[in-house]
Structure 1
Amino acid sequence: MAAARRILPQLTIQDLEKKFVGYYKRNIKASHRHLINPQTADKVAKSFGDLHKYVIIEKDPGPGVLTKALLNAGCTQLVALESNQKFLSVLKELENDSDGRLKAYYSDINKLDLIPLYQGYIPPVYQSGDILGHIKPKSWDDDIVGRVIGVANNTMGHRFTISYLIRLIERSGLHRWGRWQHIAYYTEKTARALYAHVGTPIYGRITVLSNILCNISTLSKDHIDEFFPRGMAIKGNSMELICLETKKHCELSDEALKFLDPILQQVFAARRQPLLNRLESIAPGSYTVLEKLKIPPRKCASNMSPMDFVELAEAFSSWDGRMTIFDSYL
């Protein structure tokens, strides 16, 4: 008979605040936030269902409240990537108590697979092969490999998610192993940008990328006081737990995918200018592509749906002038 799984005790919110308040005051940038309510962490962990099937990578777990909840819910392959050394000792203690189910690394998930320090990048830099080398890659048609879970940085939430989506397009980094679920808590403002409607002020590059590449769902909304540090100036009083699950089949061909983000960067840099002006400025003659698609010459990026951009990227991928388009991007 298998040995019973050890249940790791959680500290109360009050004890967590007493233990870690100094860490935040001295060492954590104001934009960082961690889930500190054990009950909410347990609810989130249990909502994931069977945790034996997947690898889970936790981004910046901090004091390890969600980490413990995931282990207590049955996670058997948990990787904690912590970019702040002050929390690493806490996570290493958890690793020692996890019966081999947790591996904690001093690593910034945004720097996975970047060039080492001697070529210009500052630690913590890690290679995804070092943490996933034991995992057999899956076909894009198979089930997901695992989940990337965390709290998106308050001021860098967009950049973190866009970086993840760009690597998805390239099928580099974690995506070399197959499809993932990207699950993160976002501020209300950032969450709205993921599922914004066409024509709204918040609709933009991240909206289009996430909707074309992923299936999006809201898993939970939790009050801002369940995260630490408290009292930070953000709009809204809750954090939204959003799941971006990589689609098995994207509407775009592999060749067209190469053009998607360069187009989005260019046209959303001046979202209210006509697409014709934005594209002609870097790819003379591209007006023929817009004419073929019957896109009005005055139409701007904020009024283009994700499917409109799918058609635009496909058209550019087969355009005779495609070799000169976005030379600085491709």
Structure 2
Amino acid sequence: MRVAPSTAVPLPLRGRNGYDGPVTDLPSLREQLDAHGLSAKKSFGQHFLLDLNVTRKIVRLAGPFEGRSVVEVGPGPGGLTRALLESDAGKVVLVEKDPRFLPLLGELDDGTGRLQIVEGDALKVREAELVDGPAHLVSNLPYNVGTALLIKWLTGPWTPHALTLMFQKEVAERVVAAPGDEAYGRLAVISQAVCDARIVLHLPAAAFTPPPKVASAVVHLVPRPDRPERDTLKRLERVTAAAFGQRRKMLRSSLKPLGGAALCEAAGIDPEARAETVDLAGFLRLAAALPTV
């Protein structure tokens, strides 16, 4: 991971933190992509949001930031970044794996130190080293690593103030699903154990360049004050992996490697129930009853 230097002449932006020129003075995102000869890479799961009306709406849904730092993963050409720089965010930290976009993103830097551009893999970055104090995560996540990044932020040592994240619609529905829903599974249990989660915006494939094959949705997650400790989360991951790994089986069978019927009875769960019918409280009891390994 390295902090990328700005390689372009800074352009003015309008905001609440010292920017004194209109954002409309900047070239359009499409013009910038063309000028730099850039396009989305399928291998990076890139789909760009070039409509600033949409990116501004996402930032409004994520805020207010009240001067707190914001981390954005996979900014690409910077459509969401521009909206963040117009907002009441304090420091804006960009984590970009694709070095092709660093010069373009550097054109958003006004030299005040408010914008920091980090070249690195978001799965390996230690966010606590990039920001001081509470920070928001606001990102249009690359489709191929969105779920892995969410699990990292939910179960890792760094807890953001709030997360506002764009996923494929199918993944977003898995995050907010309730027991009995077709989408209910491990991701819903772990997400909702840590955060209050809700879908705040739906976007069609046509909103992106290039258009993906599926629609997308923005999920807003706020960490719960009573979220489990990391040890409990590790237990919860083990229980849900076993239970949903064989979701059509009764828990006495799917959880057999972890204790089966005895584990269910210790947690007050019907051993003949299936994973898709057990609510969050039930899974937390199963995790608590799991023998120490």
Structure 1 length-normalised TM: 0.75
Once superposed, which parts of structure 1, at least 4 consecutive aligned residues long, lie more than 4 Å away?
A: 252-255
Aligned to 2:124: 111
Match of 2:138 among 145, 149, 152: 149
Q: Which amino acid aligns with 2:253?
A: N
Return 5+ residue gaps in structure 2 as ranges.
1-16
Match of 2:104 among 87, 90, 113: 90
SS where residue 220 of structure 2 aligns? strand
Q: Given the superposition, is the C-alpha separation of residues 85 and 301 from structure 1 closer, same or farther in structure 2, using an over 3 Å criterion?
A: same
Q: Which amino acid aligns with 2:194?
A: L
Aligned to 2:31: 15
SS where residue 225 of structure 1 aligns? helix
Match of 2:204 among 215, 223, 235: 223
Structure 2 length-normalised TM: 0.83
Return 5+ residue gaps in structure 1 as ranges.
113-126, 137-144, 317-321, 325-330
* Residue 311 (structure 1) aligned with residue 247 (structure 2): no
Q: Given the superposition, is the C-alpha separation of residues 149 and 15 from structure 1 closer, same or farther in structure 2, using an over 3 Å criterion?
A: same
Counterparts of 1:3 and 1:203, CA distance in 2: 45
Aligned to 1:73: 87
Counterparts of 1:30 and 1:103, CA distance in 2: 22
Counterparts of 2:253 and 2:71, CA distance in 1: 42
Number of corresponding residues: 276
Q: Is the 8 A contact 1:147 1:181 kept in 2?
A: yes
Match of 2:67 among 53, 74, 77: 53
Q: Is the 8 A contact 2:62 2:138 kept in 1?
A: no
Counterparts of 1:4 and 1:267, CA distance in 2: 52
After TM superposition, the structure 1 = structure 2 runs for residues 243-258 of structure 1, keeping only pairs within 5 Å, are 243-250=220-227, 252=228, 255-258=231-234
Q: Given the superposition, is the C-alpha separation of residues 269 and 186 from structure 1 closer, same or farther in structure 2, using an over 3 Å criterion?
A: same
Q: Given the superposition, is the C-alpha separation of residues 147 and 308 from structure 1 closer, same or farther in structure 2, using an over 3 Å criterion?
A: same
Q: Is the 8 A contact 1:55 1:78 kept in 2?
A: yes
Counterparts of 2:111 and 2:58, CA distance in 1: 19
Q: Which amino acid aligns with 1:148?
A: L
Q: Given the superposition, is the C-alpha separation of residues 51 and 11 from structure 1 closer, same or farther in structure 2, using an over 3 Å criterion?
A: farther
After TM superposition, the structure 1 = structure 2 runs for residues 1-330 of structure 1, keeping only pairs within 5 Å, are 5-9=20-24, 10-12=26-28, 14-15=30-31, 18-19=34-35, 22-24=37-39, 27-29=41-43, 31-95=45-109, 97=110, 99-112=112-125, 127-132=126-131, 135-136=132-133, 145-167=134-156, 172=157, 174-175=158-159, 179-230=160-211, 232-234=212-214, 236=215, 239-250=216-227, 252=228, 255-280=231-256, 282-283=257-258, 285-316=259-290, 322-324=291-293
Q: Which amino acid aligns with 2:138?
A: I
Q: Which amino acid aligns with 2:205?
A: I
Q: Given the superposition, is the C-alpha separation of residues 24 and 291 from structure 1 closer, same or farther in structure 2, using an over 3 Å criterion?
A: same
Counterparts of 1:104 and 1:128, CA distance in 2: 13
Counterparts of 1:98 and 1:52, CA distance in 2: 21
Q: Given the superposition, is the C-alpha separation of residues 204 and 87 from structure 1 closer, same or farther in structure 2, using an over 3 Å criterion?
A: same
Q: Is the 8 A contact 2:55 2:80 kept in 1?
A: yes
SS where residue 111 of structure 1 aligns? coil
Q: Given the superposition, is the C-alpha separation of residues 43 and 202 from structure 1 closer, same or farther in structure 2, using an over 3 Å criterion?
A: closer
Counterparts of 1:17 and 1:276, CA distance in 2: 55
SS where residue 152 of structure 2 aligns? helix
Counterparts of 1:262 and 1:28, CA distance in 2: 32
How much has 1:69 moved relative to structure 2? 1.4
